[in-house]
Structure 1
Amino acid sequence: MTGVEDAFLHDVEAATAAATDERRRLAAVSRYDILDTPSDGTFDKIASLAARIFDAPMATVAIVDSDRVWFKAAHGLRDVAEIARDPDLSAPVIPHQGPYVVTDALDDPRTAGSSLVRGELGVRFYAAAPITTADGHRLGSVNVLDTRPRRPTEDQLAGLQELAALVMDQLELRLAAQHTVAAERERRADAERLARTLQRTLLPPALPTVPGLRAAAAYHTASVDEVGGDFYDLFPLDDGRWAFFLGDVCGKGAAAAALTSLTRYTLRAAAIYDPDPCTALANLDTVLKGEYQGDTPRFCTAVFGVLDAEPDGSFTVTLAGGGHPPTLAVRADGTVEPVSTAGGQLIGLLPDPHFVQTTTRLAPGDALLLYTDGLIEARTADGSMLGEEGLTRHLATRAARGAEDLLATVHGLFTDLGTGVSDDTALLALSVPPCSIPQSAQENR
């Protein structure tokens, strides 16, 4: 191999290595996500301090991109955010190991042709200390510029290097903060996904079809990353009737989820054993006390009901309540009346709780709304609680018809209340469709 060929191969290898190093350097610049970010007081102070150390009019904290030099901070340079990557003055700091100094840029063959020297700025003195990562990549530099030739002292150059190291420390802190925020967002996203998945397991995936009845349910979540304790269900009994319940356990999170699961499946099992509403709540009370005996008390409120279809298309509804807000009956004429189980006591807390049972009738066109207390404890625009009376007034003025319409009305109320709703809320609506006139009767009119 001739000397010319050897030199050529050496140049090719050097060029390839340089290109590889530059790609890695640019990847490091991208890693710190600093380019084109807003002004930062910390970096502005570093540039100002650099100018003060050198008693110079201009100083910058510069990040070198592939084709430009972008200034994170620029002291003494008005309306200058970036310049083209100048191979004579701006870029040499990248391959340079220590401080890069040009005492008289006009007479120095390395920089005499630079636009910064020949242009409007008329730079004559330039000193730069590289901003170097722990793995050896030089992101840019802290620079000092002057319009007069000068020779810096060793103390000044040492101070410039310390400022460059300080810039690197700030970039590392910024990167660590970004990673922390990203990790927290991912943790919250994971928690939200887990909460949604767990919440779905605690509620029926869909309500069954009840002949002659329409049913709809909804769950309003106050916190996306925490499992609530509200629950509802609707299911058939062996004798042709239908049972339903809705309630709210104490607490939130995993403990509430466990209690909700136990409550829901206990009420289902209790209804199979004896569907009498008060008996079902009493059985739940016994199970909760036995399960959490000696632990922190775990209790809930609930309303349990049984639907019995009548020949005329109506339904007799038997309800029992344990410490739960009254169910609301929305009649076909638009009036709203409470179906109260007042006096019913909390389930799972008291030695010998009392449960209250009542009966009502759902005629064609009537609807029943069951809800948890997150709805009536929501705050209105003036800061007061919505309350049972406020909910009743809202339903009466909207004249909702049918289970779906009733839930849509309540969802509209949620929208109006906005951030005033601070607790989870479960909703269950049951309605009897209005009687329709047979086609033959219409033709005979």
Structure 2
Amino acid sequence: MDLTSSFEELFEDAPCGFLVTDADGVIRRANRTFLTMTGHRAEDLVDRVRLQELLVVGDRIFYETHFAPLLALQSSAHEIAVDFRGAAGDRLPVLLNAVMKGEPPGPREIWVCVFAATDRRGYERELLLARQRAEQSEKEARELAGVLQASFVPPTLPQIDGIELAGVYAPAGLGEEVGGDFYDMYETRDGWALVIGDVSGKGVAAAVVTSLARYTLRAAPAREASPSAVLASLHRAVVKERTDRFVTAVYAQVSPSPGGGCLLTLSLGGHPQPVHLTGKGPSRIGNPGTLLGMLRKLRLSDVTVEVLPGESVVFFTDGVVEARRDDELFGDERLERVLVESRDESASDMAGRLLHEVSSFQSGVLSDDVAIVALKVPEALKVPEALEAPQESTAP
């Protein structure tokens, strides 16, 4: 076999389709592989049809607006995915590699290699479907996490005469995992109970313990008289659950104060101390106790604090002070500064501002869940002097 016939055989029976067109795309040659792939006959194509006319409508537009200009500009185009119309009207997914041969003003040719891509397209479609299914699953998981997390905080806090209350919660990251932060306030035989807590970890296991903690804390006051006894009851319930999770929590009894404000009798189980804002500045209240559900021996105590008109107490989870930006923590000093700056605002504005500052500190993406509850006793209303006593009439 001479060299010429060898090249001719290579052209005709190459493992890919091969086309030669003029600069306008008119097909001058088509090898047997291409004809076999598409089902077309050489006499129907050569010198009669432009390459772009074999493409489906959308790809024909793409050829005119992208493929041809790219060839004219760079003299080559690689791995262009298009669909040919077969002789039977079927679609053939292919990849095109093309080069422009010749220099103006002389004649120019386009050499085009056509690689069948049916298997590749099928694989890409499977990948696309798998990605769509994964995205749908992630969306459903986020929605489920949101619904479940919403059950850990009340829709609204109760309205109590003489007290402003506000609570806010924000999940870590995009909120796709259920966190362990929770807060609640409900009426008891001794007044009102305010609780805030945090279960270690995330996910389903943490959610189970979080639900256990909330319902245990709601039921315990019917049997236990003091906040420390209520937290001890929660400790026993978590231990009985035989989980590797632990809980930190604050339980506070809220009752009226003879001074016109309210009394807080609170106990802390391994939880950050709340901040009490008074005219003298911020201070921490409560004695730090042991973690709940972890240690055999508990150390819990009760402390009573009076919150006077104009004063506030802010409860929070560790996602506030332990918020991290690189190697820097949000910290206690920054926390107290934010609260002092907002001390004259409403309880809702105080809680919202603190959450905003923590979020901004981390560029809007929290590294841990954050729960905040603000309790404020408003200043006593002063009666205008003109309304203190009836004025004597000056009428004759």
Please report the TM-score for the alignment, with normalisation by the length of structure 1.
0.66
2-structure distance, mates of 1:326, 1:171 = 60
Conserved? CA contact 2:93–2:121, under 8 Å: no
Aligned counterpart for 1:433 among listed residues 359, 372, 378? 378
Report deviation, 1:53: 6.8
| Secondary structure of 1:268 counterpart | helix
Counterpart check, 1:422 vs 2:376: no
Aligned to 1:351: 296
Aligned to 2:348: 404
Which segment drifts farther, 367-376 or 55-64?
A: 55-64
Aligned counterpart for 2:339 among listed residues 369, 387, 395? 395
Conserved? CA contact 2:171–2:366, under 8 Å: no
Conserved? CA contact 1:329–1:339, under 8 Å: yes
Report deviation, 1:404: 1.1
Counterpart check, 1:77 vs 2:23: no
Aligned to 2:222: 272
Q: Deviations over 1:65-122 (max 9, x none)?
A: 2694423755633389xxxxxxxxx99x62426xxxxxxxxxxxxxxxxxxxxxxxxx
Conserved? CA contact 2:267–2:286, under 8 Å: no
CA distance 1:409–1:400, shift in 2 (3 Å): farther
Conserved? CA contact 2:227–2:253, under 8 Å: yes
2-structure distance, mates of 1:409, 1:172 = 52
* Bigger relative contact order, structure 1 or 2 (CA pairs below 8 A, ≥6 apart): 2
Aligned residues: 335
Aligned to 2:394: none
CA distance 1:217–1:275, shift in 2 (3 Å): farther
Counterpart check, 1:234 vs 2:185: yes
Residue identity in the other structure for 1:363: L
Aligned counterpart for 1:261 among listed residues 202, 205, 211? 211
Aligned to 1:310: 257
CA distance 1:54–1:138, shift in 2 (3 Å): closer
Aligned to 1:341: 287
Identity of aligned residues (%): 30
Residue identity in the other structure for 1:349: M
| Secondary structure of 2:177 counterpart | coil
CA distance 1:66–1:289, shift in 2 (3 Å): closer
Q: Pairwise CA RMSD of aligned residues?
A: 3.7
| Secondary structure of 1:374 counterpart | coil
Report deviation, 1:321: 0.4
Q: Deviations over 1:377-425 (max 9, x none)?
A: 1124x63111222211222234343311211221331342134630001
Which segment drifts farther, 389-398 or 256-265?
A: 389-398
Which segment drifts farther, 388-397 or 252-261?
A: 388-397
1-structure distance, mates of 2:387, 2:300 = 48
Q: Deviations over 1:335-378 (max 9, x none)?
A: 21111422x00001111111132221110111111000011111
Aligned counterpart for 2:158 among listed residues 208, 214, 228? 208
CA distance 1:424–1:351, shift in 2 (3 Å): same
CA distance 1:256–1:57, shift in 2 (3 Å): farther
Conserved? CA contact 2:330–2:361, under 8 Å: no
1-structure distance, mates of 2:210, 2:200 = 9
The residue correspondences of 1:1-400 to structure 2 (distance < 5 A) are 63-65=55-57, 68-71=60-63, 73=67, 76-78=71-73, 94-96=85-87, 136-138=90-92, 142=96, 160=113, 163-166=114-117, 168-223=118-173, 224-239=175-190, 241-292=191-242, 296-331=243-278, 333=279, 335-342=281-288, 344-380=289-325, 383-400=327-344
2-structure distance, mates of 1:428, 1:238 = 22
Conserved? CA contact 2:355–2:370, under 8 Å: no
Residue identity in the other structure for 1:367: S
CA distance 1:341–1:165, shift in 2 (3 Å): same
CA distance 1:334–1:194, shift in 2 (3 Å): farther
Report deviation, 1:56: 7.7
| Secondary structure of 1:189 counterpart | helix
CA distance 1:246–1:374, shift in 2 (3 Å): same
Residue identity in the other structure for 2:212: L
2-structure distance, mates of 1:262, 1:67 = 60
**Structure 1 gap segments, 5+ residues each:** 1-48, 81-89, 98-131, 151-155
Specify which structure has the higher proportion of strand: 2
CA distance 1:303–1:146, shift in 2 (3 Å): same
